[in-house]
Amino acid sequence: MTAADALRSSLEDLSGALESFQFRVPGPDQAAKERARTELVRSIREYLLPRLEDPDAPVVAVLVGPTGSGKSIMLNSFAGERASEPGALRPTTRSPVVWANRRHVRRYQKLLGGLIGRGDAGIVAGDDPITEQLTVIDAPDFDSVYADSRIIGEQVLAVADLCIFIASALRYADAAAWRFLDQIRMRGLPILFVLNRLGPDPETRKLILADFAALLKDRDLLLEADASLIFDVSEQVIYPRHGGLHADAVASIRQELALISDPALRRAVVRQSTEGAVAEVIDKVGGIAQGIGADRSVVTALHTLAEEAYANELSTSKQLIATRRLVAPGPVGDRSSVERELASAMSRRAGVAARDAAGAWDDMTEGHALLGVAETLWRHGAETPEVAEKESAAWLDVVENSLAPAVRRPRARRRAAVKLTRTLLTGEGAAVGGAVAELVNDEAWRDRILADLTDRIATVLALDADRFLALTQRVDISDGLAATIRSLAAQVSERAGEFYR
């Protein structure tokens, strides 16, 4: 296996692990965490893996810069045709435009999958020899007021090997530009700087170029504050035919791009951009692993709160049984009324537990959000009364059966069982005699039958609690995934070390 294969397979593994889960715990940063995860997967699957697999594919240069700086005009100037619609309304370009060689067009259909083909976006196929080795993408501006454009901008950046940064001489010092330049620099992408719309006065031009170079140097974007490292383009007529500048205006930039297209240099560019991307992936995995850890501790906390609420209610139930207050005192009634009373006492306990658990969840941001999806959590579950009735009836059967040897006739036995139950639960009906009195006074039997009742209440409560626990399980991330992801990233890092040595 070559070093490249090894690196690729380690990236495959990492991506697989990142795709195996989702950040589902609702909260203020859920969307951001989930986006970071999908972006990471995207940059591995859509950029790094294809790139490493096919290092001789054309270099992808992305035009970036603030809105109105002239990116679309620049693409048209390179292409010599109306590839991207420039415009006076800001921002103009809302989805990416790809200028590629006919032979390579298919590559980008796959690469940018969901991005192109919506709205006015698309691929402009050409025969320009430069496109044999180079593809240029006109991206929406990154600082757009449209969140949509910003996300698309980031996605396009993820597939870039090279950036062509277009600044306008009219507003090159805008803070907005620096933010995304920092982002590009973190990716380790090579950047060509173009200062567009320069005025005719040579002195002013020199001053502005020197100032721009100094600003770039200050931010570590240029090695030296050397104005000759910046491509300067004058403000000039835009040809209506192709919506671009005269070919001469961009000749030096085209020349530089043609140079990059030289196979050896291209490999160097791709090497630099993939190395930067691998480093960024490794860096971002740390944040993802942390996010998993944070989600897991939230889930554990919510789980514990729910369990505690139900455990509390079980011990309350035990106490109520011991002090004979589980059901209210009243007339002896018949079997069905006792059964109903006991069942509703059980449901009541579940209802109190649910209210307490929901209350505890409500105090946590994430718990509050989860309650929003399942408002019924504030009450006992819809099926709880039915389960309680079944348990209650089953317990009464057990009581009745205990009387079986002593009281033979079923109807008499049933009546005796109801009396016995009353006495057990409320302490009333002391005037019982015979078999009933015998059992009531049999301490071992009493303990056993009341323990059986407690177990049945526990069953009802556990079933009710399941609604909370199922919800936490649904948003949980499997144990050990953070560690797996960390170790897969360490493997990528090690293999990248060998590959880029």
Ligand X SMILES: Nc1nc2c(ncn2[C@@H]2O[C@H](COP(=O)(O)OP(=O)(O)OP(=O)(O)O)[C@@H](O)[C@H]2O)c(=O)[nH]1
196: contact with ligand X by CB under 6 A: yes
Using CB under 6 A as the binding rule, whether residue 98 contacts ligand X is answered as no
Shortest Cβ distance from residue 285 to ligand X (Å)? 32
- Among the listed residues 223, 229, 225, the one whose alpha carbon sits nearest the alpha carbon of residue 256: 229
The DSSP bridge pattern shows strands 134-138 and 97-101 to be antiparallel
Distance (Å) of CA 211 to CA 101, 169, 207, 252: 37, 11, 6, 21
Which of 54-62, 67-75, 267-275, 325-333 is the region at the interface with Mg ion (rule: CB under 5 A)? 67-75
The option from ligand X, Mg ion, none interacting with 300 (CB < 5 to 8 A, set by class) reads: none
Does residue 163 touch ligand X according to CB under 6 A? no
Interface with ligand X, residue 238, by CB under 6 A: yes
The residues, any chain, with a CB within 8 Å of residue 461's CB and separated by 6 or more, are: 310, 313, 314, 317, 349, 350, 353
Q: Considering CB distances under 5 to 8 angstroms, the limit depending on partner class, which of ligand X, Mg ion, none binds residue 429?
A: none
Residue count of the chain, please give it.
501
Q: Name residue 230's beta-bridge partners.
A: 193
Asked if 261 touches Mg ion (CB under 5 A), the answer is no
Query: Across the strands, what pairs with 98?
Result: 123, 137
Nearest C-alpha neighbor of 500 from the set 162, 159, 267: 267
CB of 232 to ligand X, least distance (A): 12
Could you say which of Mg ion, ligand X, none residue 238 binds, taking C-beta under 5 to 8 angstroms by partner kind? ligand X
DSSP helix/strand/coil, 390: helix
Binding segment (CB under 5 A) for Mg ion, from list 63-71, 103-111, 116-124, 168-176: 63-71
76 binds Mg ion (CB under 5 A): no
Indicate which single residue of 30, 69, 76, 93 sits in contact with Mg ion (rule: CB under 5 A): 93
Question: Are 371 and 472 contacting, i.e. CB atoms less than 8 angstroms apart?
Answer: no
**Per CB under 6 A, which of residues 129..148 are in contact with ligand X?**
141
Residue 230 C-beta: closest distance to ligand X, Å: 16
In angstroms, give the least distance from the CB of 217 to Mg ion. 28
Q: How many chain residues interact with Mg ion (CB under 5 A)?
A: 4
Question: x-or-dash pattern for ligand X, window 338-377, by CB under 6 A?
Answer: ----------------------------------------
Number of Cβ within 10 Å of residue 32's Cβ equals 12
Closest approach of Mg ion to the CB of residue 94, in Å: 9
- DSSP E strand boundaries for 66-179: 97-101, 122-126, 134-138, 162-168
Size of the site for ligand X (CB under 6 A): 22
What spatial distance separates the first Cα and last Cα of the chain, rounded to whole Å? 16
> Is the bond preceding 26 in cis, omega lying within 30 degrees of 0?
no
- Give the C-alpha separation, 385 to 369, whole Å: 27
Piece of 91-99, 310-318, 329-337, 423-431 that binds ligand X (CB under 6 A)? 91-99
User: What are the b/e assignments for 394-414, b being 16+ CB within 10 Å?
Assistant: ebbeebbebbeeebeeeeebb
Ranges within 51-90 binding ligand X (CB under 6 A): 65, 67-73, 86-88, 90
Minimum Å distance from CB 71 to Mg ion? 5
136, two tokens: 């240029």
Task: Please say which residue, 24 or 82, places its beta carbon nearer to ligand X.
Answer: 82
Instruction: Among 43, 92, 131, 261, indicate the residue that binds Mg ion (CB under 5 A).
Output: 92
Do the strands 97-101 and 162-168 form a parallel or antiparallel pair, or are they unpaired? Answer: unpaired
Between residues 74 and 465, which has the closer beta carbon with respect to ligand X? 74
Q: Does 236 bind ligand X (CB under 6 A)?
A: yes
Instruction: Work out whether 232 is an interface residue with ligand X (CB under 6 A).
Output: no
402, 439 Cβ separation under 8 angstroms: yes
Radius of gyration, alpha carbons of the chain: 36
Q: Which is nearer to Mg ion, 93 or 421 (CB)?
A: 93
Report yes or no: 83 and 122 within 8 Å, Cβ to Cβ. Answer: no
Interface residues with ligand X (CB under 6 A)?
65, 67-73, 86-88, 90-93, 141, 196-197, 235-236, 238, 245
Interface residues with Mg ion (CB under 5 A)?
71-72, 92-93
